[in-house]
Amino acid sequence: MAKEFKTIDEFVSYLRSRNRESNINVRKGEIYSIGDVRMYNDDIDKVPFKFEFVDGYIDVSNNDLMSFEFLPEDAKSYDISGNPGVTGILKEITDKCSHWTFKKIYNQLIQNCLINDVWVDGVTNLEIIEEIWKETKNDIYLEDKNGFMSRYYKLLDSNDIDLLADYYDVTGDIWSSDDILKKIFDKFASDKSNERILNFRILSVLMSNDEDSKIKDLIVKSGYEKVLPYISLSERQDEEKNIQKVIYLLGKKVTRGEKTIQRDEENECLVFNASYEFIENDQGLFKKQLNIERLMKVDIYDASDLQIINMMKMRSRFQQDVETYFIWVPKGSFDEYIETNDIPDYILDLIDKKKTRT
């Protein structure tokens, strides 16, 4: 059965019994505490008295509370988790901020919710919490921009338009063009490993929190759909080498010069293992000719295709006089020779002249 407190003196007596090391008193009908206030796991469904301030933390977790209007606007820390009133977007944020790293920003959110009357007469106004959360993040970002991105990037989502626009120096609607993607990808090409990894993780988190698919749609529209399978990689998987591989792939594509972009638009890359053999002609003379195992079309910006090339190179090491080569040709011009051994001599001669060893 839930605890009931009929008078403020009765409530204060309860608080003092649970928090003997704190100085808890009443002033002008409101409660103040010099020290922490613990009310967790205590079968409380309502607190009919208001706290003025708490010089410490206040923990009301794991009760049956539907509203938190009694909380003080002035406290060092709050814990409201495990209550039925923590629902919807408030629960999403509370769950995300469960780690101590996010305590500061979460406490600021609760204070801002109290200042903006999110909880009134036992009712929670969930509709305004999203905007308050966005403003809270932006305020703390402005205090220390680089520090915010390093510590709180996991809390970013596609609604943080002003914050992201400022950090990446993008104007206008950041999701209407690929400007922000280019800025993020530019940072992938940084000489600083920490900067590369941080910006990869920022994009990864934005993707995972992209409920409206704004970022995914922009990536596809901008021609970077090849990266989608890899953007979901995050530090939670603790696979640094995979992160580095994706950073390399993205950086290689987005840092292309105009000549490389034109080459990629007009041509395609073929890769093959080959050795030389001597062919006797009608006059009894021998001609050195390229012997191709098979031609394969590859996308040099696709990690799975790069893995195929690496496997081909590994196989060539165990075959006598075999090397792995690639050649750029106009798109579609060699389709009939892909993965076949029936290649005319004049095509073999052309490939031999234009090939490059990997």
Query: Quick one: which H or E segment has residue 325?
Result: strand 323-330
* 32-39: average pLDDT: 95
Residues 289 and 249 reside in one and the same domain: no
Residues 237 and 282 reside in one and the same domain: no
Residues 179 and 248 reside in one and the same domain: yes
Q: Any alpha helices (H) in the chain, and if so which ranges?
A: 8-18, 88-96, 103-115, 129-143, 145-152, 161-167, 179-188, 193-208, 214-221, 228-231, 240-254, 258-266, 303-317, 345-354
Collapsing DSSP to helix, strand or coil, 357 comes out as strand
pLDDT at 235: 47
pLDDT at 241: 58
- For residue 254, pLDDT beyond 80: no
pLDDT band of residue 325 (cuts 50, 70, 90) is very high
* 51-64: average pLDDT: 95
Mean pLDDT of the chain: 86
Collapsing DSSP to helix, strand or coil, 47 comes out as coil
Residues 150 and 249 reside in one and the same domain: yes
* 10-33: average pLDDT: 93
* pLDDT tens column, 340-355: 878 888 898 999 999 9
- For residue 166, pLDDT beyond 90: yes
Last residue of a domain, one of 232, 255, 278: 255
Least confident of 6-15, 34-43, 190-199: 190-199
Least confident of 111-125, 228-242, 283-297, 309-323: 228-242
Does 1 fall in a domain?
no
Least confident of 98-102, 175-179, 227-231: 227-231
- What are the C-alpha distances in Å from 240 to residues 63, 77, 146, 354? 41, 34, 22, 37
Residues 95 and 201 reside in one and the same domain: no
Residues 38 and 121 reside in one and the same domain: yes
Does 165 fall in a domain?
yes
Residues 277 and 223 reside in one and the same domain: no
Supply φ then ψ for residue 108, to 5 degrees. Answer: -65, -40
Does 282 fall in a domain?
yes
* 124-146: average pLDDT: 94
Structural domain range at position 300: 265-357
pLDDT band of residue 239 (cuts 50, 70, 90) is very low
| Cα distance from N-terminal residue to C-terminal residue, the chain | 75
How far is it, in rounded angstroms, from Cα 180 to Cα 176?
9
* 286-297: average pLDDT: 86
Q: What percent helix, strand, coil does the chain show, rounded to 5?
A: 45, 20, 35
- For residue 74, pLDDT beyond 90: yes
Residues 272 and 247 reside in one and the same domain: no
For a pLDDT cut of 90, what percent of the chain falls above it?
48
Residues 248 and 350 reside in one and the same domain: no
How far is it, in rounded angstroms, from Cα 181 to Cα 206?
12
- For residue 152, pLDDT beyond 70: yes
Quote the number of domains for the chain.
Answer: 3
How far is it, in rounded angstroms, from Cα 1 to Cα 46?
12
Neighbours of 110 (CB within 10 A): 25
According to the per-residue pLDDT averaged within each range, which of 209-213, 230-234, 245-249, 334-338 is highest?
334-338
Residues 221 and 119 reside in one and the same domain: no
pLDDT at 331: 93
Token pair 């922000």 is found at 180
Does 132 fall in a domain?
no
Does 260 fall in a domain?
no
How far is it, in rounded angstroms, from Cα 47 to Cα 4?
8
Residues 283 and 343 reside in one and the same domain: yes
* 10-39: average pLDDT: 94
pLDDT at 244: 62
> CB of 80 within 8 A of CB of 41?
no
Last residue of a domain, one of 125, 155, 181: 125
pLDDT at 300: 82
Does 136 fall in a domain?
no
Residues 116 and 49 reside in one and the same domain: yes
pLDDT band of residue 306 (cuts 50, 70, 90) is confident
Last residue of a domain, one of 72, 98, 125: 125
Does 296 fall in a domain?
yes
pLDDT band of residue 315 (cuts 50, 70, 90) is confident
pLDDT at 242: 57
Which CB contacts under 8 angstroms, 24+ apart, belong to 219-223? 219/181, 221/178, 222/178, 222/181
Does 307 fall in a domain?
yes
* 90-112: average pLDDT: 94
- For residue 278, pLDDT beyond 50: yes
